[in-house]
Chains A and B, each alone.
Chain A
Amino acid sequence: MSQGVQVVGLYVRDQDEALAFYVEKLGFRVHTDARGGDYRWLTVQHPDQPFFQLGLFTPESPVVDTATAKTLREIVAKGAMPPLVLVVDDCRAAYERLRARGVEFTQEPVARFGSVDAGFRDPSGNGWKLIEARR
């Protein structure tokens, strides 16, 4: 695939913490970790999606002004950022595995509408749904 969405960014409160979470707990890989002065371009990748990168960015000046950065940090911490979905083959198995690694689940696996879904948050407050792929 050569055309399509390549990077979608998340706001996180701390890039080191987010990196540890997405790599060590969720099993993503680092794609790019580049610095330019104080700015850090950090993206991770799901092992099955070599074309797609999830960016882990902190809201900070001068990319946005200080007041806006503060507001964005508050919004992330309140869990008000848009929904994220991680599709897995087996939701209950993934739930057990991730929970054992210390992932903060907000909803245990529930079977409904021909699938199973659970919910968790990253350390910053971004909410993920863990949804079992329909077979």
Chain B
Amino acid sequence: MSQDPELLRRLLRAKDRMDAASHEEWPVRRLARVSGVSKAHFARSFKEAFGIPPHRYLLTRRIERAKTLLRETDLSITKIAFQTGWRSLGTFGRTFCDVTGESPGAIRAREKAAPHDPQRVPACFLRAAQRPDLTIAVSEKRRQAAVDTKGSEGKEIL
């Protein structure tokens, strides 16, 4: 489906603003204002343009940011959770696991152990590349994981 490039440019502005301050709250009302469109129009057009609803896009940005901080700093996981926009450590840990399949602690241990050279790829591009590709809602991902677990147990019995 095709969209008006002028609208797309304004939707991109809202996406850029989320990228620049993913720790902030971005209710649809605020994003719609950045793009100069109504709330309903914004949510629908954003998803059509970028293939993902705005709140989920923000979530992937926050997870990517948290992964970067886990890898590159010695900040505590609690500090990272709050710095990346979560209000509770529990929600952060659970969502992080659901999206990445690993706990924040496990990722930190693995990344710190692995040698890497961050200077080869400019950090800003690396970030876009490391954003989790969350093609389905986290709730759906959770549900599928639960079904898969049951499914494999069933096979073992058979």
Contacts and interface: CB of A to CB of B under 8 A. Distances in A.
Interface of A: 13, 70-71, 73-74, 76-79, 83, 85, 104, 106-108, 112-114, 117, 119, 121, 124-125, 129, 131
B122 A74 contact: no
B6 A79 contact: no
Contacts of A125: 8-9, 12
A117 B122 contact: yes
B15 A79 contact: yes
A115 to B, nearest CB: 9
B50 A106 contact: no
A70 B13 CA distance: 20
Contacts of B3: 74
Interface in B1-57: 2-3, 5-6, 8-9, 11-13, 15-16, 19-20, 49-50
A106 B20 contact: yes
A79 B16 contact: yes
A77 B19 contact: no
